[in-house]
Structure 1
Amino acid sequence: MPKAYAYTRYGGPETETFIDVDRPDPGPGQLLVAVRAAGVNPVDWKVRSGFRRPGDTGTPEFPLVFGSEAAGIVEEIGEGVTGFAVGDAVFGNTVAGGYAEYALLPATVTAHVPGGLSLTDAAVLPVAAATAYDGIRQLGLPAGATLLVTGAGGGVGVAAVQIARAFGLRVVGTASEGKKDFVEQLGAVHVASGTDLAARVRAAAPDGVDGVYDLVGGDVLEETATLLTDRAKLITAGAAPEDVERLGGARVERARTAAVLDEVARLVVAGDLNPYVTRTFPLEQAGEALRLVEDGHARGKVVIEVAA
């Protein structure tokens, strides 16, 4: 039977295990994909710990397979799906987990893998890169404007800096001192995180910032909001809606469309976006891959690769 890596209840790593699963049947609007690569994200261990995404309802039925994004080869096509054929290389968000030999993908949030993009790189685009893209488009800043990205050294931040630069923006990125060289390599002016952050940002951008893309929340969100004259240009993917709305800003509005995936893939192929996949693990070492992300030791993106 096909293998998958799952958690059996809410809790820590002790809840994780490999399970045998039936090969899923694609429902209407779905694709069955033989997984070749699955991205590993912080949200994976957070949901295992009990975090509920906005909109989550009902009681979960354990075991639950890890993973929100995957790339692979189409095996079967569900009713009503057009534009895809068996054998196509695709990537997208998963219906019920991607750390597995097979996964279901909704056709509306699945895109073809273009030439010049590997399945491994494609697997990490649906979550971090697509979130970054949605936020940059939501801000709608004109070329030449200055954008502040907090948490620029994280998964979404790395993509946001690069996408903003591709859109012609000047970027100031906050991150730890240890990530200074990395953030500057992405094309941003680095500002060290920590107390008195706003003062350091003002020094780095004496003409001010035109938008803030927050990926940290908390005190960082509060402090960087003071840098803006137009709070409509404050967005966050790191804080609750009520926190940012109180400051006059908004949460990132996720498009969750195949068109966005096509766009981020195009940016990669054009050389404007480096997915920064730095570590890969076989499916048999899925737990080790997740530990690397959960412990905060991953620099760049981590991918689980599944043998054909």
Structure 2
Amino acid sequence: MPKAYVFTQYGGPETEALVEQDRPSPGPGQLLVAVRAAGVNPVDWKQRTGYQRPGQQRRELPAVLGNEAAGVVEEIGEGVTGFAVGDEVFGNPVAGGYAQYALFPVAVTAHKPAGVSFTDAAALPVAAATAWDGVRQLGLPTGATLLVTGAGGGVGVAVAQIARADGLNVIGVASAGKKDLVESLGAAHVPSGPDFAEGVRALAPDGVDAVYDLVGGEVLEAAAELVKDRAELITAGGKDIVEGLGGSPVVRARTAAVLDEVVRLVVDGRLDPLVTRTFPLEEAGEALRTVEEGHARGKVVIEVAE
């Protein structure tokens, strides 16, 4: 039977397990995909603890972990057009991507170009798409300065690259150990920590034109003091407090069209998903710990053997 990495109840890492499950069957508007790679994101472990987006229903347990994946179409559900068995695709699975097989809704599934690996494609639907949505939401003019907090993680490295491709100046806040990574993206690095705002002011004495926050909490509050117009403050990390600061959450499009846009950037050489570590499905727990404990540089991906 196919394997999948699941959580059996809401809680900590002790609830996770590699199990065997029946191969799913695609419903209307769905694809059954043989997974070749699955991206790992902070939202994965947050969902295990019980986190839900507004309006989202609680998952039936055991629930497969993972929110982005890439693979090969095995079966096609009723009413699906534009896809065929054997197509290489990537997108947001219906119910988890850390598995040998997963169901993909066609609304958030795109064709993978031949020149993009499954591993890189699997790193795009959450991190790069979130980055794309936020940068487009801001709509900054060429030459504007964007401050990115949490610039060394999966979303942050994509934000920096997309912003630089748009002709923006980028200041990236990340740990000292990620200085080389941030600077390799064409961004100016400011070490994270309680005094990061002073480092930003040294580079932008009059303030920055916009903030893309990926941390939340006190970091978001401090970043709000650095932006010239609070309307240009967005966050994917502090949605609970951002409106009180005069900003707004990142508005996610969650469409196949966005996936087509971000993968085109990869093909054109303007975006590198920066997958820095890979793990086999049998080590999915270790992959998730790397992200959950905040040690990841760039993207972590689980590779699934054929």
Which band: TM-score by shorter chain?
over 0.9
What's the counterpart of residue 259 of structure 1?
257
2:277 is matched with 279
Are residues 1:44 and 2:52 paired? no
- Residue 178 of structure 1 aligns with which residue? 177
Aligned AA for 1:39?
G
Give how far 1:188 is off: 0.5
Q: Equivalent residue for 1:74?
A: 73
2:29 and 2:106 in contact (8 A); partners too: yes
Aligned twin of 2:165: 166
5 Å matches for 1:1-308? 1-57=1-57, 59-241=58-240, 243-308=241-306
CA contact (8 A) 2:35 2:102 kept: yes
Give the structure-1-normalised TM-score: 0.96
Alignment-mate amino acid for residue 63 of structure 1: P
In structure 2, C-alpha distance between the alignment counterparts of 1:245 and 1:148, rounded to whole Å: 18
Letter in 1 for 2:45: W
SS at match of 2:54: coil
Q: For the residues of structure 1 that align with 2:218 and 2:200, how far apart are their CA atoms?
A: 15
Q: For 1:194 and 1:101, how far apart are their aligned partners in 2?
A: 40
Instruction: Kindly state the Cα deviation for residue 148 of structure 1 after the two structures are TM-superposed.
Output: 0.6
Shift of 1:294: 2.0
Distance across 2 between alignment mates of 1:293 and 1:209: 29
Cα offset, 1:303, TM superposition: 1.2
Spell out, residue by residue over 1:124-160, the C-alpha distance to the aligned partner (whole angstroms, 9 max, x if none). Answer: 1001110000000000001111111111111111110
Report how far residue 207 of structure 1 moved.
4.7
Amino acid at match of 2:112: V
Per-residue CA deviations over 1:76-99 (Å, capped at 9, x if unaligned) read: 111221111110000000100111
* In structure 2, C-alpha distance between the alignment counterparts of 1:144 and 1:219, rounded to whole Å: 28
CA distance in 2, matches of 1:221, 1:230: 14
TM-score, normalised via structure 2 length: 0.96
For 2:280 and 2:194, the matched residues in 1 are separated by 40
The letter of the residue matching 2:6 is A
- Contact 2:210–2:228 under 8 Å retained in 1: no
Q: Report if the CA contact (8 A) 1:135-1:235 is conserved.
A: yes
CA shift, 1:54, in A, is 2.9
> SS of the counterpart of 2:251?
coil
The secondary structure found in structure 2 opposite 1:172 is strand
**Distance (Å, rounded) in 1 between the aligned partners of 2:26 and 2:60:** 19
| Contact kept? 2:239, 2:249, Cα under 8 Å | yes
Show CA shifts across 1:140-184 (max 9, x none). Answer: 001111111111111111110011001110001111122112111
Task: Output the CA distance in 1 between the equivalents of 2:207 and 2:292.
Answer: 35
- Please tell me whether the aligned partners of residues 191 and 204 of structure 1 are also in contact (alpha carbons under 8 angstroms): no
Deviations 1:106-134 (A, max 9, x none): 10100000131111100010011100000
- Give the secondary structure class of the aligned counterpart of 1:187: coil
Which deviates more, 81-90 or 226-235? 226-235
2: CA distance between counterparts of 1:256 and 1:84? 19
- For 1:60 and 1:145, the matched residues in 2 are separated by 42
For the residue of structure 2 that corresponds to 1:180, the secondary structure is helix
Deviation at 1:221, TM superposition (A): 1.3
8 Å Cα contact 1:92-1:126 kept in structure 2: yes
> Structure 2 CA distance, aligned partners of 1:252 and 1:300?
20
Identical pairs, percent? 75
The alpha carbon displacement at 1:279 in A equals 1.5
Distance across 1 between alignment mates of 2:245 and 2:207: 18
**Gap regions ≥5 residues in structure 1:** none
